[in-house]
């Protein structure tokens, strides 16, 4: 008779991975078990990102791992996704750091930068010796980045940047900020090194989500940059949007990791928590919850793997990434909320991972395109009609 399936891998998704992919996943899983899980509750409570782990994350090749050359691992998209899944099973702060470093800071330099820019930044960033951030969102410009007010004006051969960026992951600890600004010819990307006169940052501390992650405001006041700071290959919103599509790919895997961690916490708890003389896992209502959660986690993992294989084949469309980002985050939030309820009062403490993931997932639902924005992306992909604003159908 066929053996009972592994409750932690109900659909045997493990069998969809190559040996190399499994090895990378296991390396990251071990790192999370040994270096993240023992302390992450404290980091979250104190609102700290563990900077001491940056070199270790670099040591296992996670920064820009899906990019080639310049010290990057060049592993392809599925291993990158699996790494995101495992990191986020630890905490979204870890995954967000790696996503921003690799997909939002290194990727634009790799894709749109000059050879000099690549040589200057990418090897150091891959090694964890330089940290990057990505400044697109502004206080008055979130879902609609085309409304940005940050400007870049020419002054001789220099550029002068003015404006404020908001909610920028890694902003306060970054050595280089990829800043998107409105120039006369359209939106341009700039590499702004920390310490450039007129460039300051301020951390946003009163957060209840992604507490083990640095989120900052970037202030640009008459920041003078040489021509060589501009990314020549990107003009218009397509530049930053392509970076976001890369990062969303990591998020849709990451959400599976958070959901899996919540499901496993609920499963373990239900088997050991006794009420009415029985483990709560013995009640039909609990089993229904567990069954629903297992289906959601496995379905999300399958979707992530399918999109990963499409990306590997060079056939992944941004609208397909939207399907994954929208639904995997939504499913993960539902799983987290069910798990929270199953843990009863313990579910609201940081002794268990569930409420931490639940709160983190609220950020996932907002950043890199809110659930509503991805719904509109899909609406446009299905109908051909953009519905972002009332006049956009015309």
Ligand X SMILES: Cc1cc2nc3c(=O)[nH]c(=O)nc-3n(C[C@H](O)[C@H](O)[C@H](O)COP(=O)(O)OP(=O)(O)OC[C@H]3O[C@@H](n4cnc5c(N)ncnc54)[C@H](O)[C@@H]3O)c2cc1C
The rounded Cα 225 to chain-centroid distance in angstroms is 29
Binder of ligand X out of 366, 379, 380, 381 (CB under 6 A)? 366
Closest to ligand X by CB, 196 or 203: 203
Binder of ligand X out of 43, 63, 97, 167 (CB under 6 A)? 167
273 closest CA partner among 352, 208, 328, 381:
352
Q: Is 283 in the site for ligand X (CB under 6 A)?
A: no
Taking the C-alpha atoms of residue 22 and residue 15, their distance in angstroms, rounded to an integer, is 9
Q: Would you call 368 a catalytic residue per the annotation?
A: yes
194 contacts 219 by C-beta, under 8 angstroms:
no
What are the backbone angles phi and psi of residue 67, rounded to the nearest 5°? -100, 160
Q: Which stretch, 72-80, 132-140, 263-271, 318-326, contacts ligand X (CB under 6 A)? A: 132-140
Residue 87: CB minimum distance to ligand X, A: 16
Binder of ligand X out of 72, 87, 136, 267 (CB under 6 A)? 136
Residue 141: CB minimum distance to ligand X, A: 7
Closest to ligand X by CB, 143 or 349: 143
Taking the C-alpha atoms of residue 226 and residue 221, their distance in angstroms, rounded to an integer, is 15
Q: How many residues bind ligand X, per CB under 6 A?
A: 21
Q: Is 161 in the site for ligand X (CB under 6 A)?
A: no
Residue 215: CB minimum distance to ligand X, A: 5
Binder of ligand X out of 41, 71, 76, 142 (CB under 6 A)? 142
- Of residues 197-236, those binding ligand X (CB under 6 A): 210, 215
360 contacts 258 by C-beta, under 8 angstroms:
yes
Q: Which stretch, 133-141, 222-230, 321-329, 332-340, contacts ligand X (CB under 6 A)? A: 133-141
226's CB contacts (< 8 A; 6+ apart) are 157, 158, 159
Q: Which stretch, 187-195, 224-232, 282-290, 365-373, contacts ligand X (CB under 6 A)? A: 365-373
Q: Is 77 in the site for ligand X (CB under 6 A)?
A: no
299 contacts 331 by C-beta, under 8 angstroms:
yes
Q: Which stretch, 2-10, 39-47, 223-231, 360-368, contacts ligand X (CB under 6 A)? A: 360-368
Strands (E) located in the chain: 132-135, 151-155, 158-169, 176-183, 186-193, 199-203, 215-225, 274-275, 278-279
Q: Is 247 in the site for ligand X (CB under 6 A)?
A: no
How many residues in total does the chain contain? 394
Per the structure block, which two tokens stand in for 322? 């939207």
List 116, 338, 368, 372, catalytic entry: 368
Q: Which stretch, 18-26, 134-142, 217-225, 284-292, contacts ligand X (CB under 6 A)? A: 134-142
What are the backbone angles phi and psi of residue 387, rounded to the nearest 5°? -120, 25
Closest to ligand X by CB, 126 or 136: 136
Q: Is 109 in the site for ligand X (CB under 6 A)?
A: no
Per the structure block, which two tokens stand in for 388? 């972002």
Closest to ligand X by CB, 72 or 361: 361
Taking the C-alpha atoms of residue 387 and residue 370, their distance in angstroms, rounded to an integer, is 15
Closest to ligand X by CB, 87 or 100: 100
What are the backbone angles phi and psi of residue 164, rounded to the nearest 5°? -135, 135
Q: Which residue is nearest to ligand X (CB)?
A: 142
Query: Beta strand pairing status for 158-169 and 151-155?
Result: antiparallel
Taking the C-alpha atoms of residue 270 and residue 295, their distance in angstroms, rounded to an integer, is 17
Taking the C-alpha atoms of residue 342 and residue 329, their distance in angstroms, rounded to an integer, is 20
Per the structure block, which two tokens stand in for 129? 């010796």
Q: Is 103 in the site for ligand X (CB under 6 A)?
A: no
Q: Is 373 in the site for ligand X (CB under 6 A)?
A: yes
Residue 147: CB minimum distance to ligand X, A: 10
117 contacts 191 by C-beta, under 8 angstroms:
yes
Taking the C-alpha atoms of residue 254 and residue 272, their distance in angstroms, rounded to an integer, is 28
Binder of ligand X out of 135, 163, 239, 347 (CB under 6 A)? 135
Q: Is 239 in the site for ligand X (CB under 6 A)?
A: no
Q: Is 100 in the site for ligand X (CB under 6 A)?
A: yes
In the complex, which residues of this chain contact ligand X (CB under 6 A)?
A: 100, 134-137, 142-143, 167-169, 210, 215, 363, 366-368, 370, 372-373, 376, 388
Catalogue the active-site residues.
368
């Amino acid at each position: 008779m066929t053996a009972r399936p592994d409750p932690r891998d109900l659909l045997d998704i493990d069998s969809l991975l190559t040996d190399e992919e499994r090895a990378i996943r296991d390396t990251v899983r071990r790192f999370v078990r040994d270096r993240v899980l023992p302390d992450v509750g404290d980091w979250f409570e104190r609102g700290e990102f563990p900077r001491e782990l940056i070199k270790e994350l670099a040591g296992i090749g996670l920064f820009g791992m899906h990019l080639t050359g310049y010290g990057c691992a060049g592993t392809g998209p599925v291993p990158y996704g699996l790494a995101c899944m495992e990191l986020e099973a630890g905490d979204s702060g870890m995954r967000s750091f790696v996503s921003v470093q690799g997909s939002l800071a290194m990727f634009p330099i790799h894709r749109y930068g000059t050879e000099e820019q690549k040589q200057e930044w990418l090897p150091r960033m891959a090694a964890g010796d330089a940290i990057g951030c990505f400044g697109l969102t502004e206080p008055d410009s979130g879902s609609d980045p085309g409304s940005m007010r940050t400007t870049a004006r020419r002054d001789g051969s220099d550029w002068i940047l003015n404006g404020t960026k908001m909610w920028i992951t890694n902003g306060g600890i970054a050595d280089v900020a990829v800043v998107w600004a409105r120039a006369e010819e359209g939106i341009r990307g700039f590499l702004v090194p920390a310490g450039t006169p007129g460039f300051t940052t301020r951390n946003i501390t009163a957060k209840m989500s992604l507490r083990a992650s640095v989120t900052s405001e970037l202030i640009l006041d008459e920041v003078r940059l040489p021509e060589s700071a501009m990314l020549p290959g990107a003009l218009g919103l397509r530049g930053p949007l392509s970076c976001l599509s890369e990062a969303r790919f990591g998020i849709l895997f990451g959400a599976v990791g958070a959901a899996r961690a919540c499901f496993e916490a609920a499963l373990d708890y239900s088997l050991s928590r006794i009420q009415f003389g029985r483990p709560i896992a013995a009640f039909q209502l609990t089993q229904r919850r567990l069954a629903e959660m297992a289906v959601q986690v496995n379905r999300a993992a399958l979707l992530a793997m399918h999109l990963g294989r499409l990306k590997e084949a060079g056939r992944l469309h941004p609208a397909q990434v939207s399907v994954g980002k929208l639904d995997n985050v939504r499913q993960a939030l539902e799983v987290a909320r069910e798990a929270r309820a199953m843990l009863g009062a313990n579910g609201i403490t940081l002794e268990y991972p569930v409420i931490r993931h639940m709160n983190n997932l609220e950020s996932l639902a907002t950043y890199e395109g809110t659930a509503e924005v991805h719904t509109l992306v899909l609406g446009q992909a299905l109908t051909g009609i953009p519905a972002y604003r009332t006049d956009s159908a015309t």
